[in-house]
Structure 1
Amino acid sequence: MKKIAINKGLGSLLLLMVLLVQSTYAQYDPKAKEVLDAMSEKYQKIGSFESDFAYSMENTTQSISEDFEGKIIVNGDKYRLKMGGQEIINDGSTVWTYLEEVNEVNIDNYDPSEGDISPTQIYNAYQRGFKYVYVEEETMNGQTYDVIDLLPENTNNQFFKIRLHISQDDKTLKQWQIFDKNGTMYTYEISNFNPDAEISDAVFSFDTSNYEGVEVVDLR
Structure 2
Amino acid sequence: MKRITKMKTFLLSLTLCFTLLGFSQNDAKAKALLDQVSSKVKSYDNIALDFKYVLQNTAENINQETRGDVVMEGDKYILNILGITRIFDGKTLYSINPEDEEVTISEENPEDEASITPSKMLSFYTHGYTYKMDAEKNIKGRKIQFVKLIPMDSNSEIKHVLLGIDPQTKHIYNLIEVGQNSTQTTLTVTSFKTNQTLSKSLFTFDKNKYKNYYINKLN
TM-score normalised to structure 1 length: 0.85
CA distances 1:112-162 after superposition (whole Å, capped 9, x unpaired): 325234222235445333221211211111111110122233344432322
Q: How much does 1:61 deviate?
A: 0.4
1:181, 1:39 → 2: CA distance? 28
| Aligned twin of 1:108 | 106
CA gap of 1:134–1:180, structure 2 versus 1, over 3 A, is same
Deviates more, 1:127-136 or 1:76-85: 127-136
**Aligned partner letter, 1:186:** T
| Aligned twin of 2:178 | 179
Q: How much does 1:4 deviate?
A: 9.3
The list of structure 1 runs, each at least 4 consecutive aligned residues, that deviate by more than 6 angstroms after superposition, is none
2:169, 2:179 → 1: CA distance? 29
Q: How many residues align?
A: 210
Is contact 2:45–2:195 with CA below 8 Å preserved after alignment?
no
CA gap of 1:156–1:90, structure 2 versus 1, over 3 A, is farther
CA distances 1:50-88 after superposition (whole Å, capped 9, x unpaired): 121111111110001111110110101111111111222
Q: How much does 1:214 deviate?
A: 1.4
CA gap of 1:64–1:34, structure 2 versus 1, over 3 A, is same
CA gap of 1:4–1:136, structure 2 versus 1, over 3 A, is closer
1:15 pairs, out of 12, 35, 41, with: 12
- SS of equivalent to 1:31: helix
2:122, 2:133 → 1: CA distance? 16
CA gap of 1:138–1:63, structure 2 versus 1, over 3 A, is same
| Aligned twin of 2:128 | 129
**Aligned partner letter, 1:13:** F
Q: How much does 1:100 deviate?
A: 2.9
Is contact 1:106–1:216 with CA below 8 Å preserved after alignment?
yes
1:134-149 pair list within 5 angstroms:
134-149=133-148
Name the % identity: 28
Deviates more, 1:32-41 or 1:156-165: 156-165
Is contact 1:57–1:184 with CA below 8 Å preserved after alignment?
yes
1:7-156 pair list within 5 angstroms:
7-8=5-6, 10-16=7-13, 27-111=25-109, 112-122=111-121, 124-156=123-155
| Aligned twin of 1:198 | 197
Q: How much does 1:44 deviate?
A: 0.1
1:156, 1:92 → 2: CA distance? 33
TM-score normalised to structure 2 length: 0.85
Which consecutive unaligned segments of at least 5 residues does structure 2 have?
A: 17-23
- SS of equivalent to 1:101: coil
Is contact 2:135–2:146 with CA below 8 Å preserved after alignment?
yes
Is contact 1:51–1:193 with CA below 8 Å preserved after alignment?
yes
**Aligned partner letter, 1:202:** S
Q: CA RMSD in A?
A: 2.3
| Aligned twin of 1:23 | none
